[in-house]
Structure formats: structure tokens, C-alpha cells
Amino acid sequence: MANRPSLNFIVALINFEQYKFYILPPAIASTSTPVNVAYDIDNTGSVDTRPRDCESDTSLAGSHLEECHGPNTVEHLMFPRAEESCNEFQSKVPMKNFIRADPSYLKTLGQAHSGWIFGGIAELVDNSKDAKAAKMDIFVDIIQLKKSRKDIPMLSVIDDGQGMNHDEVMKMVSFGHKQSDKVDKDHIGKFGVGFKTGAMRLGRDVLVLTQTTNSRSLAFLSQSLNEGKDNIEIPIVSYCRQGQRMEVDLSVQSEALAKHNLKAIKDFSPFNKYLIGEKAALFGTGTGTQIYIWNLDEWGSKYCLEWHDGLKGGSSFHQGDIVIHNKRTRSRPGQISQKVPLDYSLRAYLEIIFLVPRMKISVQRTLVKTRPLSKFLTQTVIETGDILMRPVELILGFSQLEWERANCGMFLYWHGRLIEAYKRVGGMIHSADVGRGVIGVIDVTNLMDDKDGRVWVHNNKQGFQDSEQYACLERWLGRKADEYWDNNFDSLKLDKDNCVLKPDHEWVQCDKCRKWRILPTGFNSSKLPVQWFCFMEPFKGQCADPELKMEFGMVNVSTKRSGYGCLSKDSNDEKMESVMKTSGTG
């Protein structure tokens, strides 16, 4: 049996349901215009080994077909006989049921994050973390549309991860794929829909540019391109490295198809060949993925997102940020506080999105000061137990900042990524004062992942399914939170003395190994440089040194550390009077 035709001899390859149509050129020695049209059906029907010519200006069913022989003939491909009508031909072939994906489905995908737009950005952050990225930049720029000459905002998400080859890009844009059976507690992606649901929530059109050590690919998921069509078209162009250059990869596409897809990208996006080249140059010899989203989602006459550039040399209050336009606080049972910045500030959300942050993340080109939440609490207690015969570990503590904001609750992480924040449990649900300032941190991966591959997390990764595991977890957390509050109520209620509680320890993160190091008691953290490394004071160690684990804490009332104070109002007044008298102004 002859092999399938070489891609070099195919004018076009059309996949339609269970058929593959091969459009073949005339024989090399021929001077006529007819072309060959062959079709292939996977394991269905009988094989007709009589290849025939098909006039290029007539329909398939009514064309004049003659038997031909030549270098483009493929023995195991079937050609319709001239005397067969379309209905006669179709009746001879066993049919299968296939689902058509209407372009409106792209809008439906975005509804997975309709309740909170930052959930869409989190999907892209997850993908970067899974790609082992060390650095990630998220920012909004203004770009001009070619056709309308209109300036519009474009959201850019850029990382230096491993990048994706052609097959991985195809998997990313496909509507569902087989879930991996591999168990990896550090891997967040599970459902195969995160990129699509996240991108389509943020905007109507998205271009992905990704590079590995040996390949580069462009993928265009666009509502604008597919408007008015009956099926979703996703142009993809892939290149492979040839020496120092990237050439069209003819092993996965024909040159004609690559040109067609590249033209579609240029026609329906702000990107021309120069801008694509400029963005590709950002990779250099490295790897990574760049995601560009435009026609951003709108809130009335404005955009859902607002963006503010940081001020050079400014304080932490002048850092760049991307915020949700309405700045509304998300609804949580028992919560009355409206001061929840992570609900509407991307910078605040990304500070604690990961249980143990390693990746450097910048928002509007200013670095986010990520922090492991459990390391910034005071009077920490580590509670361990078993839920449905699975071990769990909860870190409970007090946060001065959250007390001032009248917040409290549990932070539930799954595979090291924040799923629920400020979840009130136990007595917290019924009273705003019970548990005020108390924060719990727990990773529930072991509990929410079944051995059979099923997970009890919503596919938008913003909540947990109603399950026995979750119900038992709520009861256990409520009991532990109430016990902590009862045991520590007197020591935590220091507001009558106007005192400020400091964390059990202060921590600093190495800019190279990204490990967290404990600062000695009494060390002034304000003296640390912006970029700190393990060999510097006060650690004076090496990046290879292990990271210390959380320890039990005590109530530490601030005295000397910068940024904290425990002075009563009277003592403050006395101190001010003393200063004024000494300076002669009294």
C-alpha cells in the first residue's frame, strides 16, 4: 500500500468530520489545469484505488473524472466516481456524530470568570508558574488598530518559562483534551480550559507568541476573526530553528497554510510583521511565552480594568497597579468589612496568590512584593489533624493589618495556589467581632485530590465543590478557629492599650534562589537593599542553605522594629512634650 502524499506535493489538506481531502496538483509533465482531489476515511467503507482528475472550475459531484497515473497518485485514497451524486456517495459511508463549535462559544468560555475578572488573570499566572517561569510581567499599554487608527488598551502577560512547541500550543487552544494522570503537587493546571476561559474573560481577542529552544509558534484566538462564521477558526503558525534562523515548520503545516494563517493574524489584529518581529526579539536566545489581549471587557462606557503606572522613586503607595473599575468587595458569608484590597487590586492579590512565592511578578513594570502569608502572622499555632483519614496542617495566627481592617478568616490553598480567601468559619460567621484579625492558612491538596484523579475544585479555581471533603473541612476549621480565639482572646485584645502586634519573625527573600530567610530579632528591615542575596547581612549564608520552616510563635509587642510601635496615647503625648521642651519650643 502506498504512503500518504508528501506535504511537498499537496496544494491543500482539508479536514472535515471523518474525512481528509487532499488537493493534489496535476502530474509534473502535464500542461493541463485539472487537479486531483483524494479523500481518506479512517477505517470506514471500502477502498477505491482509482484516482481521478477533478476539473478545478466544476463541483466535486458533477465534474468530469478520468483515470490518471502519475507521481501524485495515492493508491489507498478514494476518489468519488463521476456518476455518483453527493447523496449516493454519503449513503455508502458510515456516518459519525460530531459537534460544531459556534464562535459564540468563545463568549461562553469567558463566563467561567464572570464573577471576578482577576480569576481570568490568575489562569495566565498559573500557566506561567507551571512553565517554570522565574519572571513574569503584567501590564497594560496603548496600541493603535491598523484599520480604524483608534488607540486602544492592550493587556500584556509575558514570562520567561519553558515556552510551548506546536503540539503544546494545539493542546492549549483545543476545546478540551485528555487530562494527565501524572500527580504533581506543584502543578496547578488540571482541566485544560484555563487559558481559554481566562483570556476570553479579559478581552475579545488574544495573540500568543511562544518560544522553546527549538521552535516558535503564533496562535490567534479571536472573536473578531470568527464573527459571522459557522465554526471557530484558530490560526496557528509554527516555526522550527534552522541554525540561527526560525523557518516555517513544514512538518506540521504547509507553507500555503502558514501564509494564510499569518495573513489572518495581520488582518484582524494590531500586529504586522514588524511588530511581530519586535515582540519575538524579546525572547533573544531564551524561551518563554507572550500573551497579548485587546478589545478588553467593558464596564458600561469604561473598561472593567483600570491601570496606573508607578512613580519612579516613589513609596509603596505609588507603585503601579491594575485595579477593577468598580472596586467592589466580593460577597462572603458573615463579612461586613469593605476593606479587602485583594478583591480589586491585582498587586494585593498577587502578593499572596501562592503559598510559597518564588516567581518574580511585576505589575505595570513595578515589582510585586510577594509574601508567604503564614510567615507574617503573630502568635502562630500549627494545628494538625486528620480529615477522612487524610492528614492536614493548619497555621493559625493574628494579623495586625487585618484586625485594623476588621477582617478575618481562612486562606485555602490548593497545589500552592490561593482558591478561597477570608473564609469565615465557626463563630466568625455569626459575629463580626469574633475572630477579628485571626488568619488561618492551609493547603488542602491532599484532601481535595482523589487517588482516581478526580479533584474537588471548581474548574475556574475560585472555589471548591460541595462535597463530603469540603463539609468536613469546614467543620474542622471552625472548631480549630474557635479554640484559637478562646485560648488567645485576652492576649490578642490589646487595643485598649493602643498597642501594635508584630509578626513572630521578619523575613527577607533572596533575589537569586528565592528562598525566605529569617531576620534576627531587632534587625531593622528598612536597611535592606531592594535586591537582597543570601550572602549579604544579616544572613551571610549561601543559596544552598535550606529554608527554615514555620515555628510556634508568641505574642510579640512591638518596641524597636521599624514600622511598629506600642506606645499608649498618654506616653505619646509625654514624649512629644519632652521633645518640644528640649528644642525650646515649649
Instruction: Quote the Cα angle for 398-403-409, to 5°.
Output: 65
DSSP-derived secondary structure for 101-136 = --THHHHHHHGGGTT-THHHHHHHHHHHHHTT-SEE
Give the torsion sign (CA, 527, 530, 535, 539): positive
Tens digit of pLDDT at every position of the chain (586 positions): 445 555 555 667 777 655 677 777 766 555 555 666 776 665 443 334 334 344 434 333 333 333 333 333 344 444 455 555 555 555 554 545 556 788 999 999 999 999 999 999 999 999 999 999 999 999 999 999 887 889 999 999 999 999 999 999 999 998 866 666 666 777 888 777 899 999 999 999 999 999 999 999 999 999 999 999 999 999 999 999 998 899 999 999 999 999 999 999 999 999 999 999 999 999 999 999 999 999 999 999 999 999 998 776 545 556 899 999 999 999 998 888 999 999 999 999 999 999 999 999 999 999 999 999 999 999 999 999 999 999 999 999 999 999 999 999 999 999 999 999 999 999 999 988 899 999 999 999 999 998 777 899 999 999 999 999 999 999 999 999 999 999 987 766 655 455 666 777 788 888 888 888 888 887 888 888 888 989 888 888 899 988 887 655 544 444 333 333 333 334 333 333 333 333 333 3
In sequence order, which residues have a C-beta less than 8 Å from that of residue 505 and are 6 or more positions away? 375, 518, 519, 551, 553
Per the CB < 8 A criterion, the answer to whether 72 and 36 are in contact is: yes
C-alpha dist (Å) from residue 453 to 7, 175, 450, 456: 39, 20, 6, 10
C-alpha dist (Å) from residue 494 to 380, 437, 552, 567, 585: 17, 12, 20, 12, 34
CB count in 10 Å sphere of residue 49: 14
User: Could you give the CA distance from residue 285 to residue 274 in angstroms, rounded to a whole number?
Assistant: 19
DSSP-derived secondary structure for 444-509 = -HHHHB-TTS-B-B-TTSSSB-S-HHHHHHHHHHHHHHHHHHHHHHHHH--GGGT--EEPSSEEEE
Per the CB < 8 A criterion, the answer to whether 446 and 439 are in contact is: no
User: Could you give the CA distance from residue 145 to residue 156 in angstroms, rounded to a whole number?
Assistant: 16
Burial class of 13 by CB neighbour count within 10 A (0 to 12, 13 to 18, 19+)? middle
Give CATH 3.30.230 domain extents, the chain: 373-496
Query: Among all chains, which residue has been given the C-alpha cell 481562612?
Result: 410
Greatest CA separation found in the chain?
A: 113
Candidate CATH numbers 2.30.30, 1.10.540, 3.30.230, 3.40.190; the one for domain 373-496: 3.30.230
